[in-house]
Amino acid sequence: MKIDLTGKNILVTGASRGIGRGIAEALGKSGATVGVHYRKNKAQAEKLVEAIGNSSKAFQADLEKPDDCQRLFEEVTETFGSVEVLVNNAGIFLNSPLESDRWLADWNTTLDVNLRATALLSRLAILQFQQRGGGRIINISSRAAFRGDNPEHLAYAASKAGMVALTRSIARGYGKDGITAFLIAPGWVRTDMNRETIERYGEEAITKDLALNTLTEPKDLAPMIVLLASGLADHATGTTIDINAGSYVH
């Protein structure tokens, strides 16, 4: 079955590379107009927009800044006329040992980008969705939200766990307004953000923890986001979908 998203305007944060890029490409192939958010990678974002077509456009914002979150959503809405689906994908993974002088700063930055920005954009989306009769929010969390992470990434795990409660609360609180919310929990994914770790420890060290033989790729997540964006799975609102090659099942 081919899913047709023609006529849907979809904002994907952190879309210039990695998981976000894979999501944006798949949404575009299904006919959606995609708001490709980026922070620094303007050239990559604009190249992606050109490849996607469908009147898609790149939008810059630093999600660590609340005003940028507001501006981003307003610019996308003004450009496209509306937003039917919000995909909160942007995130950071800072290495912060307890003894680091930057531990508190890294903690705050991680929660600002991974959780607060997700909440701010979700709030703006919900307010618009209520006026338009509904919409969908898809949040990209992590298996770390459920199984935890190593001591250097306490803030990352905590921020991703916060996304779980946020997503479930939105689903339960706004379903009668036609608003649905979903959570995707990836494990290790072959992305630029993870390249250093994969190269340091070797791919075999990571894949031995998987139930499958190969490392997850961004294209392995994208079809599920397309399905959720379509509305065909709205009765799964509030659910968490694990896409981690069986490395963590709950």
- Catalytic residue annotation: 156
HSE-CB for 121 with a 13 A CA cutoff: 41
Q: DSSP alpha helices (H): ranges in 87-241?
A: 103-111, 117-132, 144-147, 154-174, 192-201, 203-207, 218-230
Which element (helix H / strand E) includes 9? strand 9-12
Task: Quote the DSSP letter at residue 142.
Answer: -
| Separation CA 105–CA 67 (nearest Å) | 19
CB atoms within 10 A of CB 49: 23
Backbone dihedral angles phi then psi of residue 95, each to the nearest 5 degrees: -85, 110
d(Cα 23, Cα 32) in Å, to the nearest integer? 11
Report whether 80 contacts 35 (CB < 8 A): yes
Residues 6+ apart with CB under 8 A from 235: none
